[in-house]
Chain A
Amino acid sequence: MAIRTDTTARPYSGIFGLPKKLFVKLGILPFLLAIAIVIFAAMSDNFLTGRNIMNVLRQSVYLTIVSLGQMLALVTGGFDLSVGTILALTSVVGALAMASVHAAVPEAVWLAMAVGFLAGIGAGTAIGVCNGIGVAFFNVSPFMMSLGMASVGFGIALYLTGGVPVYGMPREFGDLFGFGTLAGIPLPIYAAVVVAAILHVVLYRTPFGRYVYAVGGNIKAARLSGIGTRSVLFRTYVLCAALAAFAGMLLTARLDTGEANIGATMPLLSIAACVIAGVSLRGGVGRLENVILGALFIGLVQNGMNLARIESYLQIVVLGALLILAVIADQIRLRYLASFKD
Chain B
Amino acid sequence: MSRQAGKASQHRAGEGTEDHGYPCPLVQTVALTRDYPGIRALDNVDFSLRAGEVHVLFGENGAGKSTLISMLAGATMPTSGQILFRGKAVEFDNVHAARNLGISAVFQEFSLIPQMSVAENMFLGAEERRRGFLHSGAQTMKARAVLDDLDFRLDPTERIDRLSRAEQQMVEIAKAFRSDLSVLILDEPTASLTVHETDHLFALLRRLRKQDVGIVYITHRIAEIREIGDRVTILRDGRFVDTVDAKSTSEDELVRLMTGRVVGEVFPKVSSEPGDTVLEVRNLHTDDGSLNGVSATVRKGEIVGLAGLIGSGKSRFGKACFGAVGLRRGTVTFKGERIPKPTPRTMLDRGLLYLPPDRRDDGLMMMRPAFENMSLAAVGMRPFSNGWIVDGRRERKIAGALAERLKLAPPRLDRTTEQFSGGNQQKLMLARSLTSRFDLLIFDEPTVGVDVGTRSAIYEFIAELCEIGAAVLLISSDLPEILNLSSRVYVFFGGSIQVELAGDQINEENVLASFFEREAA
Contact = CB atoms under 8 A, between A and B. Distances in A.
Nearest to B90: A1
Nearest to B378: A225
A309 interface: no
B38 A218 contact: no
Contact of A207 (B344, B364, B368, B387): B387
Interface string A216-236: 011011111111100000000
Interface in A50-75: none
B364 A221 contact: yes
A207 B379 contact: yes
The secondary structure that dominates the A interface is loop
Contact of B389 (A206, A211, A213): A206
Contacts of B379: 207, 210
A160 B7 CA distance: 83
A3 B37 contact: no
A7 B79 contact: yes
Nearest to A209: B390
B345 A224 contact: no
B91 A1 contact: yes
A311 interface: no
Interface stretch (A95-103, A167-175, A261-269, A333-341): A333-341
Interface stretch (B251-259, B330-338, B355-363, B468-476): B355-363
A285 interface: yes
A5 B1 CA distance: 8
Contacts of A5: 2
B365 A206 contact: no
Contact of B91 (A2, A207, A226): A2
B511 to A, nearest CB: 28
A232 to B, nearest CB: 11
Contacts, number: 116
A210 B363 contact: no
Contacts of A218: 362-366
A7 B362 contact: no
B421 interface: no
A339 B392 CA distance: 31
B302 to A, nearest CB: 24
A342 interface: yes
B17 interface: no
B133 interface: no
Interface string A279-314: 010101100000000000000000000000000000
Contacts of B445: none
B35 A341 contact: yes
Given A217-B365, A285-B367, A224 B38 contact: no
Given A205-B390, A214-B365, A1 B35 contact: no
B82 interface: yes
A339 B76 CA distance: 10
Given A220-B361, A284-B367, A340-B37, A210 B390 contact: yes
A204 B354 CA distance: 26
Nearest to A228: B345
Contact of B82 (A4, A340, A342): A4
A8 interface: yes
Contact of B2 (A4, A222, A228, A340): A4
Contacts of B36: 338, 341
A217 B385 contact: no
Interface string A1-20: 11111111000000000000
A304 B144 CA distance: 64
B91 A4 contact: yes
The secondary structure that dominates the B interface is mixed
Given A222-B376, A338-B36, A1 B82 contact: no
A4 B30 CA distance: 12
A2 to B, nearest CB: 5
B271 interface: no
B498 to A, nearest CB: 27
A15 B418 CA distance: 31
A220 B366 CA distance: 12
B92 A217 contact: no
Given A4-B89, A226-B348, A214 B367 contact: no
A205 B376 CA distance: 14
B368 A220 contact: no
Nearest to A217: B365
B445 to A, nearest CB: 14
B115 to A, nearest CB: 14
Contacts of B392: 204-205
Interface string B87-98: 001111000010
B146 interface: no
Contacts of A339: 35, 77, 79
Given A218-B364, A226-B345, A342-B37, A8 B79 contact: yes
Contacts of B362: 218, 220-221, 224
Contact of A213 (B101, B364, B368): B368
B380 interface: yes
A179 to B, nearest CB: 37
Given A210-B372, A221-B376, A224-B324, A284 B345 contact: no
Nearest to B82: A4
Contact of B344 (A8, A206, A217, A224): A224
B103 to A, nearest CB: 12
A64 B338 CA distance: 50
B304 to A, nearest CB: 20
A214 B376 contact: yes
Contacts of B389: 205-206
In this complex, the member of B322, B347, B361, B367 whose beta carbon has the largest number of chain A beta carbons within 10 angstroms is: B367
A213 B365 CA distance: 9
Contacts of B39: 341
Interface in B453-485: none
- In the A-B complex, the 5 residue pairs with the smallest Cβ-Cβ separation, listed nearest first, are A217-B365, A207-B380, A7-B80, A226-B348, A225-B377
Given A207-B387, A214-B368, A218-B365, 19 more contacts: A7-B79, A206-B385, A206-B388, A210-B379, A210-B380, A214-B372, A217-B365, A221-B362, A221-B364, A221-B365, A221-B376, A222-B365, A224-B354, A224-B362, A225-B344, A226-B349, A338-B37, A340-B35, A340-B37
17 contacts: A1-B90, A1-B91, A1-B97, A3-B91, A207-B385, A213-B365, A217-B367, A221-B363, A222-B365, A224-B363, A225-B348, A225-B432, A226-B344, A337-B37, A338-B36, A340-B37, A341-B37
Interface of B: 2, 35-40, 77, 79-82, 89-92, 97, 101, 322, 324, 344-345, 347-349, 354, 356, 361-368, 372-373, 376-377, 379-380, 385, 387-390, 392, 432
